[in-house]
Amino acid sequence: MAKPKKQPRPKAETPKGFRDYFGAEVTERGDMLAKIAAVYHRYGFEALESSAVETVEALGKFLPDVDRPNEGVFAWQEADDDGRGDWLALRYDLTAPLARVYAQHRNDLPTPYRRFAMGPVWRNEKPGPGRFRQFYQCDADTVGAPSVAADAEICAMLADTLEEVGIPRGDYLIRVNNRKVLNGVLEAMGLEDDTQKDAVLRTIDKFDKVGEAGVRELLGAGRKDQSGAFIDGVGLTPEQAEPVLAFLTSKGTDNAATLANLRAAVGEAAIGAEGVDELSEIANLLEAQGYGPDRIVIDPSVVRGLGYYTGPVFEAELTFEITDEKGRPRQFGSVAGGGRYDDLVKRFTGQAVPATGVSIGVDRLLAALRATGRVGGQAEGPVVVTVMDRARMADYQAMVARLRQAGIRAEVYLGNPKNFGNQLKYADRRGSPAAVIAGSDEFERGVVQIKDLVLGAQIAETATLDEWKERPSQFECTLDDMVERVRAIVDGEA
Is 53 or 256 the residue whose CB approaches a copy of itself more closely? 53
Q: How far is the CB of 94 from a copy of itself (least distance, A)?
A: 12
CB nearer a copy of itself, residue 74 or residue 320: 74
Shortest Cβ distance from residue 271 to a copy of itself (Å)? 22
Burial of 491 (0-12, 13-18, 19+ CB in 10 A): exposed
With a CB cutoff of 8 Å and minimum separation 6, the contacts of 402 are 482, 483
Nearer to a copy of itself, 346 or 445 (CB): 346
Give the span between the Cα atoms of 84 and 64, in whole angstroms: 11
Q: In terms of DSSP bridges, do strands 53-55 and 296-298 run parallel, antiparallel, or are they unpaired?
A: unpaired
CB 239, min distance to a copy of itself, A = 38
Residue 7 annotated as lining a ligand binding site:
no
Nearest distance, CB of residue 486 and a copy of itself, angstroms: 14
107/195 with CB nearer a copy of itself: 107
Quote the least distance from Cβ 12 to a copy of itself, whole Å.
3
Minimum gap (Å) between residue 56 Cβ and a copy of itself: 9
Residue 139 or 153 with smaller CB distance to a copy of itself: 153
Known binding residue 133? Answer is no
- CB-based contacts of 271, cutoff 8 Å, min separation 6: 180, 183, 184, 187
Question: In the complex, what is the shortest distance from the CB of residue 492 to a copy of itself, in angstroms, rounded to a whole number?
Answer: 19
∠ CA 471-472-477 to the nearest 5 degrees?
Answer: 110
Q: Residues with Cβ < 8 Å from 344, sequence gap 6 or more?
A: 95, 96, 98, 99, 353, 355
What whole-number distance in Å separates Cα of residue 328 and Cα of residue 324? 5
* First vs last C-alpha separation in the chain: 72
113 annotated to a ligand binding site: no
Q: Would you say 123 is a known binding-site residue?
A: yes
Q: Minimum Å distance from CB 161 to a copy of itself?
A: 12
Question: Rounded CA gap, 284 and 438, in Å?
Answer: 68
In this complex, which beta carbon is closest to a copy of itself, that of residue 242 or of residue 428?
428
- Please tell me whether 94 is known to bind a ligand: yes
Residue 230: Cβ-neighbour burial (10 angstroms; 0-12, 13-18, 19+): exposed
The H-or-E segment that residue 394 falls in is: helix 393-405
Q: Is 136 annotated as a binding residue?
A: no
**Helices 255-266 and 238-248, axial angle in degrees (round to 10):** 150
Judged by CB, which is closer to a copy of itself: 11, or 209? 11
What are the Cα distances from residue 251, in Å, to 246, 265, 302? 9, 12, 11
Which residue type occupies 265?
A: A
Ligand-binding annotation for 141, yes or no, is: yes
Nearest to a copy of itself of 202, 347 (CB atom): 347
- Closer of 96 and 185 to a copy of itself (Cβ): 96
413 annotated among ligand-binding-site residues: no
Using the CB atoms, write b or e for 293-309: b if 16+ within 10 Å. bebbbbbbbbbbebeeb
Q: 230: Cβ–Cβ under 8 A, 6 or more apart, which residues? A: 222, 223, 224
Q: How far apart are CA 181 and CA 204, in angstroms?
A: 13
State the minimum distance, in angstroms, from the CB of residue 318 to a copy of itself.
Answer: 23
Binding site, annotated residues = 93-95, 123, 137, 141, 304, 308-309
Binding site, annotated residues for L-histidine = 93-95, 123, 137, 141, 304, 308-309
